[in-house]
Each structure stands twice: as C-alpha cells, then as structure tokens.
C-alpha cells in the first residue's frame, strides 16, 4: 500500500496532501464516488451523502478533515476542495501545456 494511503474499499488511494497531489486524488476519488453511488440506494440521499463524506474524509490528511469537518454535504466539501486547489489561470495553462507535452512525447 502507498505511504499515507487510506484503508478499506479505497485501499490504494493516496491521501490528499494539498496542491501537490490534488489532481490525481481528484480523479481517483471521482471514480470511487461514482462506483459507490451505484452501490447505495439512490432514494436515500442522506445515506449516500454520508457515505460520500466518509469516503472523502478517509482519503485526506487529518488537518484537511478538521478544516472541512463543518461543511454539511459531500457536494459542499467537493466544491471547497476544488476552490482551494484550483490552479490560477497561468498555472493552469502551464499544467495543461505540460500534460500535452507528456502525452505527445510519452513522458520523455
């Protein structure tokens, strides 16, 4: 298992540390939350939301849980994380440029 990763269903998900691994964490968590949603009855929104909040909390570092703990919904937590880790316009363009270069040259 990866250092700093969570346990259980999300076993190999590295915990969110901050901007340094937000992008990869976000992709894995989106996939995990989609899969989890299929397992929970969609009629029971409160149970689904509680499960999503739990999945997010077990995959972030403790200081981030403390920071997000008062937000009542998974959607609210997700929005806060997105706002906190969204790259600025120039930084985002640089990230996209780097991603395209890696794809173009196979990461070399």
**Residue 32 lies inside a defined structural domain of this protein:** yes
pLDDT at 48: 80
**Residue 70 lies inside a defined structural domain of this protein:** yes
Is the model's pTM score more than 0.75? no
Q: Name the residue with higher pLDDT: 11 or 92.
A: 11
**Residue 53 lies inside a defined structural domain of this protein:** yes
**Residue 36 lies inside a defined structural domain of this protein:** yes
CA distance 14 to 96: 22
The tokens describing 23, both together, are 């992008």
State whether residue 60 is helix, strand or coil: strand
> Which residue, 87, 35, 78, is CA-closest to 57?
78
Q: Which domain holds residue 27?
A: 8-105
**Residue 1 lies inside a defined structural domain of this protein:** no
**Residue 19 lies inside a defined structural domain of this protein:** yes
Give 23-64 pLDDT, tens digit per residue.
888 888 887 777 666 555 555 767 788 888 988 998 899 999
Per the structure, the count of domains in the chain is 1
pLDDT at 68: 92
Give 75-103 pLDDT, tens digit per residue.
899 999 989 887 666 655 666 566 666 66
Terminal-to-terminal C-alpha distance of the chain: 27
**Residue 81 lies inside a defined structural domain of this protein:** yes
């Amino acid at each position: 298992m990866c250092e700093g990763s969570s346990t259980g269903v999300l076993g190999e998900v590295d915990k969110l540390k901050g901007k340094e691994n937000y992008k990869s964490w976000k992709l894995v968590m989106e996939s995990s939350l989609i899969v989890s949603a299929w397992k929970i009855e969609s009629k029971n929104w409160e149970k689904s939301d509680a499960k999503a909040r739990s999945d997010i909390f077990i995959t972030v570092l403790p200081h981030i849980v403390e920071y997000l703990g008062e937000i009542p919904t998974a959607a609210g937590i997700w929005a806060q994380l997105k706002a906190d880790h969204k790259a600025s316009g120039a930084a985002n363009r640089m990230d996209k440029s780097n991603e395209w270069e890696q794809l173009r040259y196979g990461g070399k």
